[in-house]
Structure 1
Amino acid sequence: MTVIDPLGSVGRSPLVRISAPVPQPHPGYFAKIEALGLGGLKARSALSMLQGAHRRGELREGARIVESTSGTLGIGLAYVAQSMGHPITLVVDCELEPPMRNLLRALGATLEIVHEPHPDGGWQRARLDTLHHILACESTAFWPNQYDNPDNAAGYRGLPDEIVTDLAAVGVERAEVLVCSVGTGGHSSGVGGRLRQLWPELRIIGVDALGSAIFGQPATHRVMRGLGSSVHPGNVRYAMFDEVHWVGPREAVNACRALARGGFHTGGWSTGAAATVAGWAASQWKGAVVTIFPDGPDRYLSTIFDDHWCDQRALLEPPRTTPHEIDDCRDHTLCWTRCQSVIAPDVATTVWTGAAG
């Protein structure tokens, strides 16, 4: 009988070919289905961050781990923390779906739920404020700080090697385009950086959400959770991207539903946004296009896959099939938009640290 080490089995997700005609017919692209990997996409970074903290002596044996999350990282952290013998407190907000709250609690996490967004930094800043209050009250607790921790990106170094191996198995020597959703910047930096080393001519496309501040747009309320950010994570490697797309919820909903009907591999906001841009990219370039589907559909059954919920928000109306084009990332946009000039936002700080001032 073979005994499986749960932490040693993190990752190893399948690479599949997607042909669902989203946002328009295309010749197909390859997608890493991270929902089918043990612990999900974020278990890769969670394992890297906690093991790195152990090696440096920052995380004591049995110490509590505290992190802010919109959901997906929480699953990975809970999975890894419990396996390593650490209690975990996750700071979430009241918009987190009840089924996801139940799942995180089932995985052994304690939830601190924030009920009011910060007037400037929204839910993300409000969660971070609460997180710092917890850290001040529990001196031995450890904050992985997914936004600025280089171990976050390092946790994805195995993923690009899996992509190379899987492509070679179907006779594809290299990819021409990589499409990556961007939140904390972890998986886009880890995967993109490694693949660019192997394939210097690789075109890397970042996928953000409307209302996200990562690439220079003003931060506004975002319908799409788990994609984008109201702060500027230090893990985002701006110089790596050849272009960025801001995708709207209507495009993401259409993509997720079309993938479910015609591809049998679907997911949530990040997956729908990545699929929208990957399908578009596959229609623009002749070489292989690769993307990552970060999550599965389970937590979105009462939102993306609920007709009434979507209809109330006009998300079932026909989406755009091509992006609007702008020349400067700071040009305000209200629809799926593409910019081929990516620069780091001119900001003095990245993630809120809790310091005065």
Structure 2
Amino acid sequence: MTAPVLARPANPDLLPLLGRTPLARIRTPLPHPQPGFWAKLECLGAGGMKARSAVEMLNGARARGELRPGGTVVESTSGTLGVGLAFAGQALGHPVILIGDAELEPSMRQLLHSYGAELDIVERPAVKGGWQGARLARLHEVLARMPYAYWPDQYNNPDNAAGYHAMAQELIGELDDLDVLVCSVGTGGHSAGLVEPLRRRWPGLRVIGVDSVGSAIFGQPARSRLMRGLGSSIHPRNVAYEAFDEVHWVGPAEAVDACRRLAKGCFVSGGWSTGAVALVAAWAARTEAGAAVATVFPDGPHRYLGSIYDDAYCRAHGLTPENAATRPVEIPHPGAAEVMGWARCRTVLDPLEVRL
């Protein structure tokens, strides 16, 4: 039985800390020399990147009457949205229950507890849907016991994407030109939220989605993944498939290599998503001569000190530079072959519509 969650006072003074993150020029070879791309450093924003969407989702639910004053928020997370919801819960005055899984790092568990969130951890992945499926099943059990709690449903809530409109306006104010946008894709929120306003400003903007090897989002078969934060074993409805010109799948060896090169070369780095988008953004800047390329670094390196930045962990999992592809393999269709490392495809389809 889930224990009652105590109401908490709101702290609206936190809200002005949201967003307005710096934009860095990245010229580090990844792994080849490249002319440089722009990276929005969301790790330097209060609550991280997903605090933007968390505040928007809770404010939207409050406006519609779906979330009562002081009501409890329950959500599934692999970590990053959990931090964002902890921020939003403190700012708006809502207790937060987070459904995590056994792969959630001890440091992240400690951080979420410190921020006042309650954690409910599932110990085994579901046969269908993996860890996400197991977390969602537990979430529905909790909601059945707490009928007045609110579930933001980050995977399908359009307010998730709306939370990134302010980031798009920041980019418009910071950049003179933008030809290529590179976005990691998990729930689909930040890519969907950025593309529409950015394409209004730059109609010819090309958008590259970056997924994880082993993710089902763009039509590859779902399987166990080391990488967290991007990719999914389910098909989130927030993914704006029609917005993408191409998709790249990046493996953990490539992401680790990029993260470590960033850390040594420009003092700016992060986790799996950051390594993956940096690799693809550098590739785009290198292959599209003269193009202005931008991406978003969703988080910083601290959560990954025991994985990406740990030599023993990387050796144990084969995440060494010699195992990292230096160029993508191209496939003609998402179903043409199961990719095992960095690959690209210029045919982007919604897997659920393909099945119909």
Q: Give the shorter-chain TM-score range.
A: over 0.9
State the match for 2:226 in structure 1: 223
Distance 1:4 1:233, change over 3 A: closer
State the match for 2:197 in structure 1: 194
2 CA distance for matches of 1:287 and 1:204? 13
Contact 1:93/1:127 (CA < 8 Å) preserved in 2?
yes
Letter in 1 for 2:61: A
2 CA distance for matches of 1:145 and 1:35? 23
State the match for 1:346 in structure 2: 352
CA RMSD across the alignment: 1.3
Aligned length: 342
2 CA distance for matches of 1:252 and 1:184? 19
1:255-288: CA deviations, max 9, x gaps? 1000000011100000000001001011011221
Structure 2: unaligned runs, 5 residues or longer? 1-10
Pairing 1:337–2:349 present: no
Contact 2:12/2:92 (CA < 8 Å) preserved in 1?
no
Query: How do residues 147-166 of structure 1 correspond to structure 2 at under 5 angstroms?
Result: 147-166=155-174
Structure 1: unaligned runs, 5 residues or longer? 168-172, 350-357
Match of 2:310 among 306, 311, 335: 306
Contact 1:11/1:39 (CA < 8 Å) preserved in 2?
no
2 CA distance for matches of 1:87 and 1:227? 26
Per the alignment, in what secondary structure is the counterpart of residue 8 of structure 1?
A: helix
2 CA distance for matches of 1:4 and 1:144? 20
Letter in 1 for 2:314: C
Match of 1:291 among 291, 295, 311: 295
State the match for 1:320 in structure 2: 325
Query: How do residues 1-357 of structure 1 correspond to structure 2 at under 5 angstroms?
Result: 5-167=13-175, 173-285=176-288, 286-318=290-322, 319-331=324-336, 332-346=338-352
Per the alignment, in what secondary structure is the counterpart of residue 248 of structure 2?
A: strand
Shift of 1:348: 9.6
Per the alignment, in what secondary structure is the counterpart of residue 7 of structure 1?
A: helix
Shift of 1:15: 0.4
2 CA distance for matches of 1:147 and 1:197? 25
1 CA distance for matches of 2:250 and 2:354? 26
Contact 2:172/2:201 (CA < 8 Å) preserved in 1?
no
Letter in 2 for 1:325: E
1:206-241: CA deviations, max 9, x gaps? 000000000000100011011100000010000100
2 CA distance for matches of 1:41 and 1:316? 28
1:30-85: CA deviations, max 9, x gaps? 00000001211000000000000000000001111000000000000001112211
Distance 1:80 1:213, change over 3 A: same
Letter in 2 for 1:317: P
Letter in 1 for 2:180: V
Shift of 1:5: 2.6
Greater displacement, 313-322 / 9-18: 313-322
State the match for 2:4 in structure 1: none
Contact 1:23/1:280 (CA < 8 Å) preserved in 2?
no
Letter in 2 for 1:248: G
Shift of 1:9: 2.2
Q: Scaled by the length of structure 2, what TM-score is found?
A: 0.94
Contact 1:215/1:342 (CA < 8 Å) preserved in 2?
yes
**Matched-pair identity in %:** 57
Per the alignment, in what secondary structure is the counterpart of residue 335 of structure 1?
A: coil
Per the alignment, in what secondary structure is the counterpart of residue 30 of structure 1?
A: strand
Letter in 1 for 2:143: L
1:176-198: CA deviations, max 9, x gaps? 10000000000010012221121
Per the alignment, in what secondary structure is the counterpart of residue 6 of structure 1?
A: helix
Distance 1:48 1:105, change over 3 A: same
State the match for 1:353 in structure 2: none
Q: Scaled by the length of structure 1, what TM-score is found?
A: 0.94
Shift of 1:317: 3.4
2 CA distance for matches of 1:53 and 1:249? 36
